[in-house]
Structure 1
Amino acid sequence: MVYNVTEKEVQPKVWSNVNGNQSELLDRFAVAEICKGWPLYRDASEWVHYRDLFTDDAYIFTTWSGGVTIDEFIEVSKKGRANGDFIMHRECGTLVDLNQKTGRAIGKMKTTITQRFNWDGLEFDIDCDNRFIFFCKKNAQGEWKHVYYKVIYEKDRVVPVDGKNVPKFEEKELSKYPYGYRHLGVAQERLGHKCLTNLPTMNNKGYTKMYEAMDTWLEGGSVDKLLEVPK
């Protein structure tokens, strides 16, 4: 069977996600706005603006950085960029689930991670379609901030820069990573990154755990265990 997302409903509980009163609309707009800051600010090295999107103790998961605090992630991002990592993001749409009673929200952003590589003079991109999931809360000043960030990886592909040539990926290397980001994982590993191999994709247990974490967060509960945040 072709790799695909489940046909079953994954989030039967409906939160404030579209329409609603003016207060709900403004809160959802504010959350969507800080979600859009990830691709805009990080891709441009606007680190001060980028840092302001997060709480002091925010925690970030990516393939190549592992699970780290936001400040650690910014530092490793700077080092990676200085060493030649060329990672960009395309936003493909953002919607928000909101619970005003708990002051919490989930930002769901459809994106494509696009990273350029050069292997022995052969340039190519790897595009990885995914969903950025932002766990957000409203602080005492009425500002929305990101507390956790984790990605559901959907599928990736190798794109020739010259329209013709791409390198060969060995199945032995690819099999180390989930199908949703296997080419990206191999290519990032060759840059020297120790990539995570257990991140959520559309057909592993991490997918359902992410939706469980989203509802738990909106209800006001702790999601550290569901997101596998180290103590």
Structure 2
Amino acid sequence: MTKAAAEIEDDRLIRELLQNWAIWRDAGDWERFSTVWHPDGRMMATWTQGTGDEFIEISKAAWAKGVNILHFLGGISVDLAGARAIAQTKMTISQRADVEGVLCDVLCTGRFYDFIEKRADKWGIVLRQPIYEKDRMDPVTPGAVPALDRALLEQFPVGYRHLAYLQTRIGYTVKRDMPGLKGPEVEALYARGAAWLRGEPL
């Protein structure tokens, strides 16, 4: 296989990996979901941070409690550098829960920013860091209006303010310094990504 053909195949395999992440995670197909991670892979989310295995276990527990989080993917951009890659995937996170007595959907738009590596001829995720660009909260029943605690709402970054509010209200401790569309957090993430592609340690 020529170098160009090998890169095309690597790009295809990475895109397949990223799409499988969303399908298998949201379907609760935990056995196959576990295959998208390298053993040291890590997941950063607003409501939990840890290894891929830890993310699976806490996701299982959340499922058992009725936590409803779904993902929808858009375009994918892959930057390849030999056995390493940085992938960015447009996505939305949708979560439904009771907020101040009103059933609501929160829709958060952003990107998955993934550090990916090929080991023993297999691509896997080393680090998944979402970028949270904007969000909104909508009551499931038209006309119902939750009375939000504005002081609490404004404690969270604008990119995932309503998502964080909902997750806090159902009992999770939300990370408050996740990267957004602009700012020092996302610039630092881009710098880490560039270093990753240069072969530097994560």
TM-score (norm 2): 0.94
Structure 2 gaps of 5+ residues are none
Residues 53 and 21 (structure 1), Cα distance of their counterparts in 2 relative to 1, 3 Å cut:
same
Is 2:188 the partner of 1:203? Answer: no
**What is aligned with 2:106?**
126
SS of the aligned residue for 1:52 comes to helix
1:154 and 1:201 in contact (8 A); partners too: yes
- How do 1:7-86 residues align onto structure 2 when only pairs under 5 Å count? 21-65=4-48, 67-86=49-68
**What is aligned with 2:94?**
114
2:101 and 2:146 in contact (8 A); partners too: no
1:124 and 1:166 in contact (8 A); partners too: no
Is 2:144 the partner of 1:165? Answer: yes
Of residues 76, 80, 95 in structure 2, which corresponds to 1:98?
80
CA deviation string 1:110-131 (max 9, x = no partner) = 0000000123652210000010
TM-score (norm 1): 0.83
Deviation at 1:167, TM superposition (A): 1.2
Deviation at 1:164, TM superposition (A): 3.0
More helix as a share of residues: 2
Distance 1:83 1:99 in 2: 41
More strand as a share of residues: 2
Instruction: Provide the alpha-carbon RMSD of the alignment.
Output: 1.4
Of residues 158, 167, 180 in structure 1, which corresponds to 2:159?
180
CA deviation string 1:151-210 (max 9, x = no partner) = 110000012222332313222111221100011001101111011001111222111011
Aligned positions, number: 200
Structure 1 gaps of 5+ residues are 1-19, 224-231
Name segments (4+ residues, structure 1) moved above 4 Å. Answer: none
Distance 2:145 2:186 in 1: 30
Identity %: 35
Distance 2:39 2:51 in 1: 9
Distance 2:93 2:51 in 1: 21
